[in-house]
Structure 1
Amino acid sequence: MNDLRDINLLKTSELFVTRHKWFSPYFELTDGQFIYARMRYKGYWKRYAIIETADNTWTIKMKGWFNRSLLLNQGEDQTIGTITPSNWKRDIKVQTDNGFEATYQYKKLFSKTLTLRNDQFGDIMQLVQRVWGFKKPFEVKIEPQHLKNNLPLPLPLLAFIGINIVLIRQARAAAAAAS
């Protein structure tokens, strides 16, 4: 039984992400009453993320051991796009096969807010990282004109792509600090 609610029924523009479990966590995108999407990891090193929405399942896989790019798949193995970090900036570009391109970027130098921006749609959403938020580590603020889901990719998928990027960067920074 699918307990996820369709994102088209969303009435508010502010959501948050809840974290469940400590050692093998999974994350849920919720407004406090309904759950709109869920993300969990398969494997120990967070190289394989599974995102479930009300109507589809998506996976994000590392392209290779020494490659920084990620593959965006619909289902298990139907590749529909790539997620590529910039070389000298903190920007991350999402490109899909249907022509949709968007960029996750930090607008300020020491900001904890990751903004998803597209040339055609403008600012789509902001992912705000909470400093001491262990149970609720992220807030998702969707621009009101995009609530009717006129985008080629669903809003929960775009939110969890950004959250996955932040979690991968946190894991890499922790590994670098430990060595």
Structure 2
Amino acid sequence: MLNLTKRLESGLQLANRTDVVKMKGVVSRVCVTLTAGRSQVFTEEEEDKLSVSLGLSSDEMHQLVTTTLHILHQAAQGTVRPGVLEEHLVVAGLTQDRAEVFGQLWAMHARSILTTLRNQSLAQYQLEDMQWSLQLETATRTRARQARPLALLQLSLSTPGGSTEKENVAVQMDRQQLFQLYQQLEQVQGQLDSLR
């Protein structure tokens, strides 16, 4: 389940140095953050206070949080049972009591974390709205009296995660380009239908 890299090993060593009760608080906070679908676990101020409380540098604190996130993401990706997660962590070098903390909190939060991660979009933007219009180009400098229909699509895109900021994109296509887009969308629809 866990691909043991040097960075993960050093993160596990940091977890072993951290008091078990405080480590439970860190893992719990990461679980709550993943359940809420947020990417930032602690504010900068909270991370500074916590690093002082744990006796870690800010870089070490960041690595501890990143390691915890990585472990929980890997557990979610493999849909691992709590006991199996504990075993893997002990084999990777985490002490038994800290591995039990991960196992207990994973048992409590796994279902909601998995649901949240499944619902998250992999794309940077999501289509909110689409408007279209048909325009007719009747003449150009080089060609007089030529009627050339053009489709203008206006896409309103938003970032996932509840941000109210939207980006508008305008796309102009002639008949051939619009037909190619239609064919590609038909292929996508066919593949989506085959998954059902």
Q: Compute the TM-score of the two structures, normalised by the length of structure 1.
A: 0.24
Larger Rg computed on CA atoms: 2
TM-score by length of structure 2 reads: 0.23
Task: Tell me which protein shows more helix as a share of its residues.
Answer: 2
